[in-house]
Amino acid sequence: MVEEAMAAARDGAQTTDEADALARIRARMGLSDDVPTIGGYEIRRRIGSGAMGVVYLAWDPSLGRNVAIKLLSTRAPTEAATERLVREARGLARLQHPNVLTVFEVGRHDDRVFVVTEYAPGGDLGSYLRERRPSLAEILRIFVEAGRGLAAAHDAGLVHRDFKPANVLLDAEGRAKVADFGLVRVVTDESDAPLSHTPADATPGMAAGAGSTDAANLTRTGALVGTPAYMAPEVLQGAPSDPKSDQFAFCVALYEAVAGTRPFAGASLLELVESTESGGIAPPAAGRRVPRWLLRVLRRGLSRDPDARFPDMHALVGALERRTVRRRIAATAAFLAVGAFAGWFAAAATEEQQCETGTERIAAVWNDSVRSKVRDAFDRAHLPYGDSLEASVDAAFDAYAQRWAAAHRRACEETRIHGERSERALDLRMACLERRKRAFADAVDLVVHADAASLARSYDVAAGIPPVETCDDPEWLAEHGRWPDDPTRRAEAERIDREIVRAQAMLRAGKHTEAKERLAGLADATEALAWPPLSAKRDLVLGQVLLEAGEHQAADEALHRAFAAALETGADDVAAWTAVTGVHLAATRLRDPKAAETWWWLVAPLLERVPHDAWLHGAALANRANALLVAGDNERSIEMRRRAMEVMKTTFGPDDPRIAEQKANLAAAYRRMGEPERAVVLLLEAAATMRAAYGRLHPKLGQLYNNLGTAQLALRRLEDAQASYATSLEIKQATLPSGHPSLGHAYHNLGEVFLERGQNDDARASLERAHEIWRSALGPDHPLT
């Protein structure tokens, strides 16, 4: 037995029982009576094993606590891989997050690497799901926590590469802890190797919980990096793992947990690759029901195209978390009575409770009942891109509700709990938030009652609600948010303000005529009130409406009136937006570069006085870029556009469709500079973002694909150009009337590519169709006919 135990120790295959036996034998021989240790930690028992090595429960005598020790296998391929493992483990040790298994130490023991982590006695999530069959709410709670941990790791530059239930551990209180970040790659190979389409060896996994194993782990040394059943299609095809592939694995695991089956089946690796590439998701197991909203979230996370998935784990977790919050809201929303603003604290018994009422208050505007009405509006419209757009609008409304509730809580806590702000400051902030809530309600109502044409612009409506961040600064509100002191006049001012904000939302929905009529109906009331900041705001929105309606001279007059009134009364936000709109009008519609330059000269100092409106700052830079582009100053236009994009990315995130639109404009500048290659890259990025947000057939993508085809044609990439022009035509056919002149342009461009490729019959048919459309729509005397 001595020889067997010593041999096991030398071979690195020693189990805890063998270690204990060895210790007893050594004690009987008088060699030692010490408890087996690794790095000073006392080994208690083995709690798991896998391809990576053995996991022990150990005791930390210095701090008096249980820990888990992963003693890694001697099969680590190279010294370089071992060194990298040590570096990555040390990097992970610097990541402190409640949903990431904490790494305490990394070291070497008899030429083998060991990693000391916190001990999670609740076992692994896979075992928990099999043995406990938890409720949907409990599953979502755990996965939201695990998703937060995964997001935190991504923020720290770490990629998991093998996310699965066996690598999510539960502590004594049931809190999720994500384990084994990056370790699989280092232990199995030097890099993410291309996959062989042959069945992989099944080997058990390894995690730092009680009894954690995973018979489904298909990791194969030197071939696979992770578990194929949870791998994203691009990784199965040989691409390196990244946060988007971790997101895919997370959604596979969540689907498996709620549906009772994995979304993609395959008895072999080849079958699994084919299944994931198909994009078809297996139906839930018999007796399992997955809510529709959750299926939408999971389908996005399981998209074959990484660009169609959520921008990051924060966005995915947010989509899951908002729903769990809404379930709590729904329980109380039916009992809410929306009373006068002055009594907003009346129902709360303590300061802490007072500061938690924001979620309930915003539930009066945005809840499951209202959400279903939005869904009904999309169902009635039968838009070919409706599902994707609805999901984005839904997410935008969710995000606004969350930001509003958070701002409400901050305002309350800073005054009522922390004593950092005065009661006057609280009143100003709450009044501001009440106005934002009304604007939110009007935007939601506009979408609920929108026709198909307005629904196409519903994301613009959702994204254009006035920001809540302005309400965080009571000093700014005190200086710029003045209202009449007389209660009657104040009530009238707030009524007019709400009508103006609603007209602006109508403008974003493309309802120019209705918005103009609403503003015209406010003329007498605004004049009678004689409150200059409100007069300036009305003229600003009127100018914006007239601009979009093509009444450019009238728009210019309205903007000049608005700017004069705003400047005189210190309404800096209105003055800034007026000047920004003036830059756009002068440069792109009036084609007056001197006027555009004058408006820009007025914008710059005002931006410093409106620090909270990121969209204002981004729009100012973007409109300046447009003006420079029209003036032929391409290099400065590009510089300004990039500055605009950086401002927007900081606030909206890199995958916001507003940034995609700026990329498309940036591509136009590069095309003018004779750099179509850069234009193609930008347009492809923009197309991916806009497809994810709006849906593949959204009208905004029609012109984008046309521009992409033009850039590809300039590079003589004729096949790519043909595909882009064909996509543009498909979108326009799906979204425009059959005789719309824009269809003529699409057919004409496609015909030009056919000519270049020598496909003369196809070219003739396309060009003749373009001529027919133009002749019918524009008349025989138009230059195009």
Closest CA to 57 of 169, 173, 204: 169
For residue 106, give the 3-state DSSP assignment: strand
Backbone angles phi, psi at 459, to 5 degrees: -65, -35
Distance CA 244, CA 688 (A): 14
Could you list the active site residues? Answer: 162
Query: Closest Cα to residue 73, out of 53, 55, 50, 89?
Result: 53
Which architecture does CATH list for 125-182+189-206+215-316? Orthogonal Bundle (1.10)
Distance CA(117)–CA(57), nearest Å, equals 10
- Residue in 570, 400, 343 with CA at minimum distance from that of residue 477: 570
Tokens matching residue 110 = 């008899």
What is the DSSP track for 426-438?
Answer: HHHHHHHHHHHHH
Report d(CA 354, CA 351) in Å as an integer: 5
pLDDT of residue 422: 78
Q: What are phi and psi of 38, to 5 degrees?
A: -130, 115
Give domain limits for the chain: 2-118, 125-182+189-206+215-316, 336-479
Provide the CA 450 distance to its chain's centre, in angstroms: 25
**Global confidence as pTM:** 0.57
Give me the average pLDDT of each 10-residue run along the chain (785 residues). Answer: 36 44 41 69 82 83 88 64 69 82 87 88 88 85 94 88 92 84 47 31 40 36 59 88 95 95 79 75 88 91 93 90 54 37 41 79 94 96 94 94 94 85 85 95 96 95 93 82 84 94 95 95 94 95 95 96 90 94 95 93 87 90 94 93 93 90 95 95 96 94 96 96 96 92 94 95 95 90 79
Give the single-character DSSP code of 414.
Answer: I
Nearest to 184 by CA among 228, 147, 239: 228
Question: Alpha carbon 65 to chain centroid distance?
Answer: 39
- The three-state secondary structure class of 241 is coil
Is the C-alpha dihedral spanning 757, 758, 759, 761 positive or negative? positive
**pLDDT attached to residue 350:** 54
For residue 11, give the amino acid letter.
D
Residue 178's DSSP bridge partners are: 100, 168
Measure the CA angle with vertex 575, ends 583 and 433; round to 5°: 120
pLDDT at 64: 82
2-118 and 125-182+189-206+215-316: identical CATH topology = no
Q: Which residues of 701-733 are buried (b: 16+ CB within 10 A; e: fewer)?
A: bbbbbbbbbbbbbbeebbebbbbbbbbbbbbbb
Determine how many CB atoms are found less than 10 A away from the CB of residue 76: 21
Residue 650 confidence (pLDDT): 86
User: Given this model, what pLDDT does residue 543 score?
Assistant: 97
2-118: CATH, from 3.40.50.2000, 3.30.200.20, 3.30.460.90, 3.20.20.140: 3.30.200.20
Beta bridge partners of 107: 114
**Which tokens sit at 361?**
């208050």
